[in-house]
Amino acid sequence: MKAITIDAKNIAYQEGDERLATLTYLKRMSYQATIRLSGGDEYEIRPLDIWRSKFEILHNSKAEIAFNRKWNGKTLIDVIRQGHRQSYIFQPKGFFDYRYVLMDNDKREMAVLRTKFLWKGFKYDFDLQVSDSLKRREEWLLLVVLQTYLSRYIMHQHRKGHGI
């Protein structure tokens, strides 16, 4: 699976020739964004506090995913669906082989994202490896899009000189 940066505000998610989703930022590197799935569903990513550490993903004005960034670089993600709650952890890993990893509570890697810098256009594309275990879950595509959103958030902080 690939995530291709179209321009400064849009990222398209593709599996082969099929477009699965699009992530659109409100403004260039805004913290508010919209996720459009190929089926027509639309989700909104919205920060909840002024420190930009707590966020929600809303569908029809109802929170379906909440995530909280910690000072150590980890992000705790809670998927809230029809009375059941599933938790995940997102974190950057590696030194020479830098990657962004989405894990379940048992620390199993569910998805791995690696960035690829393109000199032509000065932009990033993303290579995503998604486990079969994650693909069997209803919210798998939202989590993969969220993984890209969080990795860009971290890269933006590094570029501005903020610590994780």
pLDDT greater than 50 at residue 164: no
pLDDT digits (tens, 9 = 90+) for 124-144: 899 999 999 999 999 999 999
Domain ranges of the chain: 2-159
pLDDT digits (tens, 9 = 90+) for 57-94: 999 999 999 999 998 889 999 999 877 889 999 999 98
CB atoms within 10 A of CB 94: 11
Which pLDDT belongs to residue 162? 53
Which pLDDT belongs to residue 112? 97
pLDDT greater than 90 at residue 109: yes
107: left (phi over 0), alpha (psi -120 to 50) or beta: left
User: Among candidates 105, 103, 98, which has minimal Cα distance to 143?
Assistant: 103
Antiparallel, parallel or unpaired: β 123-130 and 2-7:
antiparallel
Which pLDDT belongs to residue 43? 97
